[in-house]
């Protein structure tokens, strides 16, 4: 990772989004969690399995399913919009994936006390960039959700012997039922 700087989790850094589309317009490369799937599908009023089919690619990597947002024909995020002045915006901003909320912060490891800053992001060098607080709550939540997802998938695939895609679909169905019946705190951000 050549264009990355390290900072400590919790350390302030200078940043102001320039709406340049580097993060949203050069994909598709955003992996999302099953929690993101449920939140976005709820916002779009689409069944989560339909959401998976319409808006994502599921890649099976060494028996572990990874969910990635699809791109449009130009390779941009499906949810990247342009207003009448050509300015970019996120069509699902309030329910965008946690990974998107963290950018330009990129995780190293759930156990690391450091993260990367993507130095290709012009928002780190914007003239009017100010020091901002590190998004600790979002970082912790994302770390928890990623760890939880992969632990559950590991159990279903390696301990219970389920086929990877079926394990993923089952996990999404379980979370969807929880979201419908219990209105868990993770559903809202």
Chain centre to alpha carbon of residue 59: 15
In this prediction, residue 2 carries a pLDDT of 61
Q: Does residue 9 lie within any of the structural domains?
A: yes
Average pLDDT value for the chain: 91
Q: Give the DSSP letter of residue 9.
A: T
| pLDDT, tens only, 125-169 | 888 999 999 999 999 999 999 999 999 999 999 999 999 999 999
| pLDDT, tens only, 28-37 | 678 999 999 9
Q: Are 167 and 153 in contact (CB under 8 A)?
A: yes
Q: Are 100 and 64 in contact (CB under 8 A)?
A: no
Q: Does residue 142 lie within any of the structural domains?
A: yes
Domain count of the fold of the chain:
1
Q: Does residue 106 lie within any of the structural domains?
A: yes
In this prediction, residue 27 carries a pLDDT of 66
Give per-residue burial for 14-53: e unless 16+ CB within 10 Å, then b.
Answer: ebeebbeeebbeebbebbbbbbbbbbbbbebeeebeebbe
Q: Domain of residue 122: give its range.
A: 4-183
Ramachandran bin of 138, using left for φ above 0, alpha for ψ from -120 to 50, beta for the remaining angles: alpha
d(CA 180, CA 24): 30
Q: Does residue 151 lie within any of the structural domains?
A: yes
Q: Does residue 188 lie within any of the structural domains?
A: no
Instruction: Please state the rounded mean pLDDT for residues 87-113.
Output: 91
More confident residue, 74 or 26: 74
Q: Does residue 189 lie within any of the structural domains?
A: no
Q: Is residue 170 predicted with pLDDT exceeding 90?
A: yes
Instruction: Please state the rounded mean pLDDT for residues 80-86.
Output: 92
Q: Which of 40, 65, 66 is nearest to 51 (CA)?
A: 40
Coil/strand/helix, residue 53: helix
In this prediction, residue 116 carries a pLDDT of 92
Give this prediction's pTM.
Answer: 0.91
Instruction: Identify the H or E element spanning 13.
Output: strand 13-15
Instruction: Please state the rounded mean pLDDT for residues 11-30.
Output: 85
Task: Please calculate the CA angle 172-184-165 and round it to the nearest 5 degrees.
Answer: 10
Q: Is residue 1 predicted with pLDDT exceeding 60?
A: no
Q: Does residue 53 lie within any of the structural domains?
A: yes
The number of beta carbons lying within 10 Å of the beta carbon of residue 70 is: 14
């Amino acid at each position: 990772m050549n264009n990355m700087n390290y900072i400590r989790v919790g350390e302030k850094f200078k940043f102001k989004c320039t709406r340049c589309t580097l993060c949203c317009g050069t994909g598709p490369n955003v992996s999302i969690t099953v929690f993101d799937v449920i939140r976005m599908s709820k916002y779009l009023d689409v069944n989560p399995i339909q959401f998976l089919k319409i808006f994502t690619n599921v890649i099976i990597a060494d028996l572990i399913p990874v969910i990635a947002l699809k791109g449009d024909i130009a390779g941009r995020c499906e949810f990247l919009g342009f207003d009448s002045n050509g300015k970019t915006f996120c069509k699902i901003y309030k329910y965008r994936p946690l990974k998107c909320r963290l950018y330009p912060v990129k995780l190293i490891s759930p156990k690391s006390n450091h993260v990367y800053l993507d130095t290709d992001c012009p928002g780190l060098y914007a003239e009017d960039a100010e020091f901002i607080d590190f998004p600790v709550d979002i970082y912790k939540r994302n770390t928890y959700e990623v760890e939880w997802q992969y632990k559950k998938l590991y159990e279903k695939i390696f301990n219970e012997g389920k086929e990877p895609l079926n394990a993923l679909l089952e996990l999404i169905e379980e979370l969807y039922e929880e979201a419908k019946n219990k209105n868990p705190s993770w559903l809202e951000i």
